[in-house]
Structure formats: C-alpha cells, structure tokens
Amino acid sequence: MSLWELFFMAFGVGLSGAMMPGPLLTVDIAEATRKGFWTGPILIGGHAIAELVVVVALAVGLSELLASKTAFTVIGVVGGAALVVMGGMMLYDIIRGRLSFDPNQPGAKSGLLIGKGITTSLSNPYWFVWWATIGSAFLTKSLAHGPAGPVVFYVGHIMSDLVWYSFVSFMIAIGKKLLVGKPYYILISLCALFLLYLGVKFIVDAV
C-alpha cells in the first residue's frame, strides 16, 4: 500500500464515519444557521485537536485502555451528561425566547466553536472505540511507511471530516434565509432533542 493509497483509504473510511448523524454534525447544523460556512472548518479545527491527542495516545500504546469497559463507562456517562446539558440548554433558550434568528447575526466566536469541536468529540464514547479499534488497526498498518505513515493517515482522515462538515455548513449558509421564523425554531429544537437523545443513549449504553 503506497502513501497515496493510504491517504485515500483514510479519507474514504473517515468520510463514511463523518456522514453518520452524531453530536458533532448536530452542532454543525445548529451553529451554521448563524455562523455560516465557517462553522464547519472551525468545528473541525477543534475536532482535529481532539483526534491528534487520541492518535498520539494510540501511538504510545494506550489503545487497550481506551477500548476498556471502564473507559467506555466513564466516557459514556460523563459525555452523555454533557450532551444532555447542551441539548437542555438549547431547549431552555427556545422556551424562554432567548433565541432569535437574524441571517446577518454573527454566531458563536471562533474560540467557542473550536471548544465545542473538542468537547463534542470527547463526549462521544463510540468515537474513542472507533479509534481504539478501526483507527488503531489503520495506524498499525501505516507504520510500515515509518513516521510518514501515521501523518498521512491522520491528514487523510481529517480531510474527510473537513470536506463533509464544510459542505453541510455551506448548504445551511446558502439556505439560511429560508430558516427565518418558525423553521429556525423547529431546526434548533430538533437539534436539541437529538443531542438529548444521544446523551441519554450514551449513558444507558455505558451503564
């Protein structure tokens, strides 16, 4: 397997995972209504930081720890609780009338979006399991190319996330004028409910 093949394989596998609904995609959709196209790239900036930490951890031999039942339980409960709080706050703001939509209104600051990218990634126990199993297997194969292998795999994987989430935020941005009024509240409510569902599911699965 050449480095180019490794890159495209990492991109393909990463894209299949990125396109699955999850907390990061939900945050991307919700924030893109205000922040626009740059929501996707900035969120993935935070996501990339979290993934770099995991890749380094796997490189030093922590895959068994990350895949252990104890780690899954702790991450599931803590991460699930974080998603429940996030979703609950979104619903509370809607009920209290604290959310208003102006297509030209600036969204969250870039620093906050990067933080959300990191927090949302770390709150998902299945993300850790993926890296401790599938991701770890790919990283092991990539070592055949020396230090360049893991770097190429990581870049290919991150590029898949960047492409997909940028595409989603772009589509939301160009259609945001259609979200004025009731459609906006419905979209944010669905995002909040989905975060609540994922949070509860993570906790139940962990326990």
3-state secondary structure 78-98: HHHHHHHHHHHHHHHHHHCCC
Tokens standing for residue 66: 């990350």
The arithmetic mean of pLDDT across residues 6-23, rounded, is 82
Identity (one letter) of the amino acid at 147?
P
The arithmetic mean of pLDDT across residues 80-108, rounded, is 69
Q: What's the pLDDT band for 118 if we cut at 50, 70, 90?
A: very high
The distance from CA 97 to its chain's CA centroid, rounded to whole angstroms, is: 27
**Residue 116: left if φ>0, alpha if ψ -120 to 50, beta else—which one?**
alpha
Cβ neighbors of 132 (< 8 A, separation 6 or more) are: 58, 63, 64, 66, 67
Residue 69 has pLDDT above 70, yes or no: yes
Q: What is the pLDDT of residue 140?
A: 78
Q: What's the pLDDT band for 161 if we cut at 50, 70, 90?
A: very high
Cβ atoms 26, 169 nearer than 8 A: no
Q: What is the pLDDT of residues 19-59, one digit of tens each?
A: 777 888 888 888 888 778 899 999 999 999 999 988 888 77
Residue 103 has pLDDT above 50, yes or no: no
Q: Percent of the chain scored above 70 by pLDDT? A: 86
**Whole-number Å distance between alpha carbons of 108 and 28:** 11
Q: Percent of the chain scored above 90 by pLDDT? A: 14
